[in-house]
Amino acid sequence: MERPRPIELLAPARDAGTAVEAIRHGADAVYIGASSHGARAAAGNTLADIAGVVDFAHNFGARVYVTLNTLVYDSEISQVENMVCGLYRIGVDALIVQDLGILRMDIPPIALHASTQCDIRTPEKALFLQDLGFSQLVLPRELSLEEIKAVRAKTAVPLEAFVHGALCVSYSGDCQASFLATGRSANRGECAQICRLPYDLYDGAGDLLVKGKHLLSLRDMNRSAMIASMLDAGISSFKIEGRLKDRSYVKNITAFYSRTIDSIIEQSGGRYVRSSSGTVAHTFVPSPEKSFNRGFTDYFLCGASARTASVETPKWIGEKIGSVVSCTGNRTVIRSDKALNNGDGLGFFNADGVFEGFRVNRTDGHAIHTMRPMALARGTVLYRNHDHGYEAAMDGDTASRDIGVVFTLRPVSWGVALDAVDVRGNSITVTAECVLSPAKTPQYETRSRILNKLGGTIYRMKSVDDRMGDCFIAASLLTDLRRRAVAMLDRAQRISYIYDYRRAENHDSECPSKELTYHDNIANRLAAGLYAEHGAYGNAMALETGDNLSGAGIVVMTTRYCVRREFGHCLKESDGRSWKGPLRLSSKGFDLKLEFDCADCRMRVVYSGKKRDNS
């Protein structure tokens, strides 16, 4: 029979505590930023913190990946080399990399994963990165199931794909909009998220088509209903976005997807197995609707569709909880079948269509009292985006994860032996010298109770095979055997843990993009040399290096999302041309021109060259 394919649920962590909670709640791996060069500048961590995560994760066979997915300048190469050496030394399993110059640095043979920032749109690009020695490929969020299958057919390494969280409107790694508009580069972990701003949309004649809407702000991804289809397409690692999300979010979403994946594996007939070990128990019912989201989309997994954007607001609206009956001063009476809590966060859309939020000071039946007077019209729909009771519960211990162990207690010629076999495959034996004598009372229940005292460890006794009959064994001796067995299991896990290592490079592989452009994000001499070695030509550097900054006319985004399609004006439809091009977006002092490649069903966003007024 074919061996089961290991399946990985990969959760985000902004800090060490969140990483530990992700693993407790069912993650098979976590990704976390180091002190620099992660794509979230605000989510850095020290080597000591990451080492603690590694020690905890490896108990369960869970992996720890560190994000090194920004561009590296020539002046930073030595710094990055030193950081990678430190990460390798503490046992990090892999680096998630964007800058190909890292493959030419003087670093240990740590496994490398190609970040989604590498923009792996085609099977040819995927094969090239595999040939460079990457152990895992993180595919773009935009790929359909059929496109994933095409990549799988061309490659052999595990494929990773996002299943939940915030969406970038542009192909990741190929967005220069933030850098040109604000000086903050997404490829350096400092994205200003100009896609979340409100825009006015103008036609070619300068007439206003849409005013003040968040036209580039996408909904959040939720592919929980498509996990089985993604498995069939070839995905092995399912990634949750959110290295800036809070601990409650990570707990809830990790738990939800862990349960979803477990259910699919149980019904797979042995085709799949979780890549880590341990039994997870949650004290709550996970629900994506309880955590931050902008509404959900599966985002082109099954083809193009409208209703991909969250044009009204980039904020979390939350769950609809009712409507206003009356409002006088600080007291508002609402019609709702939901139980409200003191401290809940509620919101509504005002007369201008802007979402406003406020805090509930206290509740009184169907009435809520606020700190400030409100002026809410009768019938105003209210939403809850902060459930104080739920969040309070999530602040506590909400999950446990343990390793099942089977004990065998048996006599040997010099005393007693305790065998222990755990679900990770570790098997050890500890023995003690003693004189065995008959007991006056039955001993099985007493011995089982002593061996089962595993509190304070990650172990849980699944069963005990007690072959000692009516022999008496002192409680202190059994306790010592149990403690020694636990310590030996821990040691066996550390010794037997299997690391992945960087794969050999195929130096004969040719780069699929022969002529280099700024879209290839070359920021240092090492990356330029690698591309040259593999047959690419040209000296175009990343915009962040200061080259190619010509201003107007630079394509700063390419996206499968289409403003025309979102508003029912696709050029392939009969009424699509009622919006006369070229279309233009304007927001806070800069313009973006929209170009439509209908043959390939893509939208390009072109920067006008105007500078943003940050005053």
Domain spans of the chain? 5-167+219-276, 312-394, 403-496
Provide the CA 66 distance to its chain's centre, in angstroms: 12
User: Class assignment of domain 5-167+219-276?
Assistant: alpha beta
What is the rounded distance in angstroms from the CA atom of residue 66 to the CA atom of residue 31?
Answer: 5
Residue 18: name the closest of 248, 189, 237, 285 by CA: 248
Give the H or E element holding residue 320: strand 319-328
pLDDT on residue 613:
42
Which residues on adjacent β-strands are paired with residue 431? 417
Q: Are 325 and 334 in contact (CB under 8 A)?
A: yes
Residue 409, classified by CB atoms within 10 Å of its CB into exposed (0-12), middle (13-18) or buried (19+), is buried
Phi, psi (deg, nearest 5) at residue 381? -80, 135
Three-class secondary structure of residue 29 per DSSP: strand
Give the three-state DSSP class for 41: coil
Three-class HEC string of 518-572: HHHCCCCHHHHHHHHHCCCECCCCCHHHCCCCCCCCEEEEEECCCHHHHCCCCCC
On whether the CB atoms of residues 524 and 74 are closer than 8 A, the answer is yes
Q: Which residue is associated with the tokens 């799988």?
A: 152
Please give the pLDDT value at position 551.
58
Q: What band does 28 get if pLDDT is binned at 50, 70 and 90?
A: very high
Same fold, 5-167+219-276 and 312-394: no
Answer whether residue 547 shows pLDDT above 80. no
pLDDT digits 0-9 by tens, 562-614: 999 999 999 998 888 899 999 999 997 789 999 999 999 999 999 986 643 43
Cα–Cα distance between 182 and 200 in angstroms, integer?
A: 19
Tell me whether the omega of the peptide bond preceding residue 140 falls within 30 degrees of 0, making it cis: no
In whole angstroms, what is the distance from residue 22 CA to residue 247 CA?
Answer: 8
Bridge pairing between strands 399-412 and 355-364: unpaired
544 Cβ contact list (under 8 Å, min separation 6): 71, 179, 185, 187, 188, 523
Structure tokens belonging to residue 51: 């080492």
What span, in angstroms and rounded, lies between the C-alpha atoms of 167 and 327?
37
CATH number corresponding to 312-394: 2.40.10.170
- Range name among 66-80, 127-141, 177-191, 205-219 with the lowest pLDDT average: 177-191
What is the pLDDT at residue 122?
97
Residue-averaged pLDDT of the chain: 95
Q: Concatenated DSSP letters for 146-173?
A: HHHHHHHHH--S-EEEEEEE---SSPTT
Query: What region does 553 belong to: left with phi over 0, alpha with psi -120 to 50, or beta?
Result: left
Q: What's the CA gap between 228 and 246, in Å, rounded?
A: 28
Is the pLDDT higher at 585 or at 551? 585
pLDDT at position 614: 37
Confidence of residue 516 (pLDDT cuts 50, 70, 90): very high
Q: What is the mean pLDDT of residues 64-81?
A: 97
What pLDDT is stored for residue 562 in this prediction? 97
pTM beyond 0.85:
yes
Q: What is the pLDDT of residues 96-148, one digit of tens each?
A: 999 999 999 999 999 999 999 999 999 999 999 999 999 999 999 999 999 99
